[in-house]
Amino acid sequence: MRPVPALLAVCFVGFMSNSSVAQTSRAWKMHDMSRPHPPVVVVPDQDHPVPPPSDAVVLFDGRDLSHWRGKDGGPAPWTVRDGYLETVPGSGNISTRESFGDVQLHIEWAAPVPARGSGQARGNSGVFLMGLYEIQILDSYNSDTYADGQAAAVYGQYPPLANASRPPGQWQAYDIVFRHPRFDTSGALLRPARVTVLHNGILVQDNVKLTGPTSWLQNAPYKAHADRLPFSLQDHSSLVRFRNIWARDLGRQEEEAELTPLSGKPPSLPRGELDRYLGTYATPDGFKIVVARDGDQLRMSVSSDSVLLETTSAFEFSLVGVDGKLEFALDNKGVPERCTFHIGGEQIVLSRGR
**In whole angstroms, what is the distance from residue 1 CA to residue 280 CA?**
25
* Amino acid identity for residue 112 in this structure: P
What distance lies between CA 162 and its chain's CA centroid?
A: 17
Q: Is residue 3 part of a domain?
A: yes
**Nearest 5°: CA angle at 55, between 54 and 57?**
105
How confident is the model at residue 354, as a pLDDT?
66
| 50 and 131 together in one domain | yes
Domain boundary among 261, 280, 309: 261
Q: pLDDT for 266-280, tens place per residue?
A: 456 577 788 999 999
| 128 and 245 together in one domain | yes
How confident is the model at residue 15, as a pLDDT?
31
Q: pLDDT for 104-162, tens place per residue?
A: 999 999 999 988 878 888 889 999 999 999 999 999 988 888 889 999 999 999 999 99
Q: Is residue 321 part of a domain?
A: yes
- For residue 310, give the CATH number of its domain: 2.40.128.50
3-state helix, strand, coil in the chain (%, to 5): 5, 40, 60
* Amino acid identity for residue 342 in this structure: H
How confident is the model at residue 88, as a pLDDT?
95
- For residue 188, give the CATH number of its domain: 2.60.120.560
Q: Is residue 266 part of a domain?
A: no
How confident is the model at residue 150, as a pLDDT?
92
Q: Is residue 133 part of a domain?
A: yes
Domain boundary among 261, 289, 308: 261
Q: Is residue 16 part of a domain?
A: yes
How confident is the model at residue 110, as a pLDDT?
95
**In whole angstroms, what is the distance from residue 156 CA to residue 305 CA?**
14
Number of domains forming the structure of the chain: 2
Q: Is residue 211 part of a domain?
A: yes
| 12 and 148 together in one domain | yes
How confident is the model at residue 10, as a pLDDT?
35
| 216 and 283 together in one domain | no
Q: Which residues contact 161 (CB under 8 A, 6 or more apart)?
A: 16, 21, 23, 38, 202, 203, 204, 205, 206
Residues 112, 168 contacting (CB under 8 angstroms): yes
Round the CA-based radius of gyration of the chain to a whole number and report it.
Answer: 21
**Between β-strands 279-282 and 346-352, what pairing exists: parallel, antiparallel or unpaired?**
antiparallel
The parts of the chain modelled with pLDDT lower than 70 are 1-26, 252-269, 354
Expressed as residue numbers, the domain containing 313 is 271-352
Domain boundary among 198, 226, 261: 261
What distance lies between CA 308 and its chain's CA centroid?
A: 19
